[in-house]
Amino acid sequence: MTGYILKRLLSAIPVLLGITVIVFLIMALIPGDPATAILGSYATPENVERLNRDLGLDKPLVQQYFIWLGNMLQGDFGTSFSLNRPVLDEVLERFNATLILAGTAFVLCAVLGIAAGVVSAANQYGWADKAITFAVLLGISIPSFFLGMMMILLFSVNLRWFPVSGMWPIYGDRNISALLSHLTLPAIALAVVATGVIARLSRSAMLEVLRQDYIRTARAKGVHERGVIWRHALRAALVSIIPVLGIQAGFVLSGAVYIEIVFQWPGVGRMLVDAILTRDILLVQGGVVFVAACYVLFNIVVDVAQTLLDPRIKT
């Protein structure tokens, strides 16, 4: 297992290098002069030249990339010019908020999606299967940002059950209760689409397992149907479900960008949008690379978990 994990970690290196190249080139190819955008009304030719020299933008593009990559490998992501603080400090602070939102949404979609898929497969063509299928198709069809706005309108503006936006109340204590009240709507809005996808694929995986001979044997031996479904069939189906969870984790993490904008959640997604608008190059590059690295590492964890369930995958 140790060898397999090392192999997966080594295979992640070219992926991360490719991400750094793509992010760097995209930011370099954006029209306009970053120094002029940063300086604003102070963008005199002398100031622009000085800032370009400070940022290293006067050097060839290839040299700029390797200087940035070398500094980043040493833990120096640079300094945000719009915030005047180290990029890594800002990203880590914002990532905590994103992790709370995306982590909660992922747990919701994983638990609800798998449970819905299992119940749907166990009651194939029954009323529960039809109701879950309808709800799943409806959830998949509604964009998360639109659902979020409708939830704000209904539950925050009209019913006033939940706060409209933010992570903490402006006034009052910052405790678990306050966090949960602010977290409920964005987490549900972010989890809905992923829940539908996981439920559909969990249903398909369960139906395939339930047709296997050993499931018929378990039933013939008198094993209770609930035990057949949840103890035998689900464990075998998880081998097919876990990779889907890894893919949906990426969807949830990327979807957090527009959910954070809708709910004004102070996470990495909102930070990246603000950084793009202000042409804060180092903050955008550092934020994207950090989030991409987290996603790659999470996929390695998913692969290891899948291997533990089915050791044949290592071969």
Q: Which residues contact 125 (CB under 8 A, 6 or more apart)?
A: none
Pairing of strands 85-86, 79-80: antiparallel
- Closest alpha carbon to 136 in 185, 190, 198: 198
- Assess if residue 226 is contained within a domain: yes
pLDDT, position 44: 79
Of the CA atoms within 13 Å of residue 154, those in its CB half-sphere come to: 7
Helix, strand or coil, per DSSP, at residue 163: coil
Contact by Cβ (8 Å): 241, 198: yes
- Assess if residue 62 is contained within a domain: no
CA 300 to CA 12: how far, in whole Å?
8
pLDDT tens per residue, range 166-220: 888 877 778 888 889 999 999 999 999 999 999 999 999 999 988 888 888 888 8
Contact by Cβ (8 Å): 105, 85: no
Instruction: Render each residue's pLDDT in the chain as its tens digit; 315 residues.
Output: 677 778 888 888 898 899 999 988 888 887 766 777 777 777 778 887 887 777 777 788 888 888 888 888 888 888 887 788 889 999 998 999 999 999 999 999 999 999 999 999 988 888 998 999 999 998 888 888 899 999 999 998 898 889 888 888 877 778 888 889 999 999 999 999 999 999 999 999 999 988 888 888 888 888 888 888 888 888 888 888 888 888 888 888 888 888 989 898 888 888 888 888 887 888 888 888 988 888 888 888 877 877 776 666 555
- Assess if residue 126 is contained within a domain: yes
pLDDT, position 111: 93
Is residue 290 within a helix (H) or strand (E), and if so which, with residue range? helix 281-309
What Cα–Cα distance (Å) separates residue 207 from each residue in 15, 198, 233, 234, 238? 35, 14, 9, 10, 12
- Closest alpha carbon to 8 in 308, 296, 248, 289: 296
Q: Nearest 5°: phi and psi at 95? A: -65, -30
Q: Structural domain of residue 108, as residue ranges?
A: 97-281
Domain count across the chain: 1
- Assess if residue 302 is contained within a domain: no
pLDDT, position 139: 87
CA 141 to CA 138: how far, in whole Å?
5
pLDDT, position 134: 93
Burial of 285 by CB count in 10 Å (0-12 exposed, 13-18 middle, 19+ buried)? Answer: buried
pLDDT, position 2: 76
SS3 content of the chain, % helix, strand, coil (to 5): 80, 0, 20
- Closest alpha carbon to 94 in 292, 271, 260, 253: 271
- Assess if residue 295 is contained within a domain: no
CA 116 to CA 229: how far, in whole Å?
13
- Assess if residue 59 is contained within a domain: no
pLDDT, position 314: 58
- Assess if residue 91 is contained within a domain: no
pLDDT, position 310: 65
CATH of the domain at 257: 1.10.3720.10
- Assess if residue 50 is contained within a domain: no
Q: Please, what is the Cα angle at 268 between 169 and 179, to 5 degrees? A: 25
